[in-house]
């Protein structure tokens, strides 16, 4: 099914600030994620990416500022927003199928969707296996399955290729690009800049919780630099 193409930004982060005690981890951050585009979200370790993605998902309450999803305050409709941020929250003693079934019931989604997403992420053979025995890559696949349950218009993924084997990385890239062809929006963080550069349309780079660059990949490449070069220039070579 195609997603409705809206002129509104899929996600607007407006003056987002998050402090833990006296430490400011996200500092007046503003950026938008275009509807129907794939946006890569980059920053060094500890730059604040996961905190921002959690705020987008409604899992972290901003100290100041706000996040809008399709122009409205944070939503919990699995058909609009699907999120995968590790840990995926599955009880180690439950099977993958039981975990997804519970999520489907809570989200009001048809039970048949569970088998579909297990197939989609290549976990059909492990559906009855307890999650506690899963490898990192299998946990990532389960997290992706959870996020994809509602075939959401907007997908938010925190380092989704972490732990995936080369076939799975290629599969995920194809899935994200096919979603974009249907008008689906994806915001993903990654440290693997060369892989991300093959997948994304737009980039957002943060450093110490602040925006340092928001651009399209086309504009970036017109400047002559690779994503990796630009990242290292803007973050002082601290590594992705």
Ligand X SMILES: Nc1ncnc2c1ncn2[C@@H]1O[C@H](COP(=O)(O)OP(=O)(O)OP(=O)(O)O)[C@@H](O)[C@H]1O
Shortest Å distance, C-beta 97 to ligand X:
29
| 111/103 Cα distance (integer angstroms) | 10
Nearer Cβ to ligand X (48/62) = 48
Task: Find the binder of ligand X among 36, 40, 43, 152 (CB under 6 A).
Answer: 43
Shortest Å distance, C-beta 47 to ligand X:
4
| 57/69 Cα distance (integer angstroms) | 9
Task: Find the binder of ligand X among 16, 47, 176, 197 (CB under 6 A).
Answer: 47
Nearer Cβ to ligand X (48/150) = 48
- Tokens 């122009």 identify what position? 71
Shortest Å distance, C-beta 114 to ligand X:
29
Residue 150 contacts ligand X per CB under 6 A: no
Binding-site size, ligand X (CB under 6 A)? 10
Shortest Å distance, C-beta 135 to ligand X:
20
Nearer Cβ to ligand X (86/116) = 86
CB 115 within 8 A of CB 148: no
Residue 234: Cβ-neighbour burial (10 angstroms; 0-12, 13-18, 19+): middle
**Pick from 206, 226, 208: nearest CA to 217:** 226
| 46/219 Cα distance (integer angstroms) | 27
- Tokens 């998050």 identify what position? 18
Between vectors from CA 163 to CA 159 and to CA 169, what angle results, nearest 5°? Answer: 75
Cα diameter, the chain: 51
Nearer Cβ to ligand X (32/162) = 162
Task: Find the binder of ligand X among 50, 70, 186, 235 (CB under 6 A).
Answer: 50
Residue 45 contacts ligand X per CB under 6 A: yes
Residue 48 contacts ligand X per CB under 6 A: yes
Judged by the rule CB under 6 A, the positions of this chain that interact with ligand X are: 20, 25, 43, 45-51
């Amino acid at each position: 099914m195609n997603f409705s193409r809206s002129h509104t930004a899929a996600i607007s982060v407006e003056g987002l600030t998050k402090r833990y005690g006296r430490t400011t981890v996200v500092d007046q951050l503003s950026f938008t994620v275009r509807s129907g585009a794939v946006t890569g979200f980059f920053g060094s370790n500890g730059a604040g990416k996961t905190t921002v993605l959690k705020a987008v998902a409604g899992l972290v309450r901003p100290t100041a500022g706000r996040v809008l999803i399709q122009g409205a305050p944070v939503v919990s409709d699995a058909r609009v927003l699907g999120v995968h941020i590790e840990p995926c929250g599955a009880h180690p003693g439950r099977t993958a199928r039981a975990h997804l079934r519970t999520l489907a019931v809570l989200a009001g989604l048809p039970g048949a969707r569970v088998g579909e997403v297990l197939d989609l992420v290549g976990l059909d053979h492990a559906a009855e296996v307890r999650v506690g025995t899963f490898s990192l890559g299998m946990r990532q696949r389960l997290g992706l399955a959870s996020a994809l349950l509602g075939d959401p218009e907007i997908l938010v993924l925190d380092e989704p290729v972490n732990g995936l084997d080369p076939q799975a990385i290629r599969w995920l890239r194809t899935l994200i690009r096919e979603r974009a062809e249907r008008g689906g929006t994806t915001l993903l963080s990654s440290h693997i800049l060369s892989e991300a550069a093959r997948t994304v349309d737009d980039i957002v780079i943060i450093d110490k919780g602040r925006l340092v660059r928001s651009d399209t990949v086309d504009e970036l490449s017109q400047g002559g630099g690779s994503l990796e070069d630009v990242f290292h220039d803007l973050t002082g070579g601290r590594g992705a």
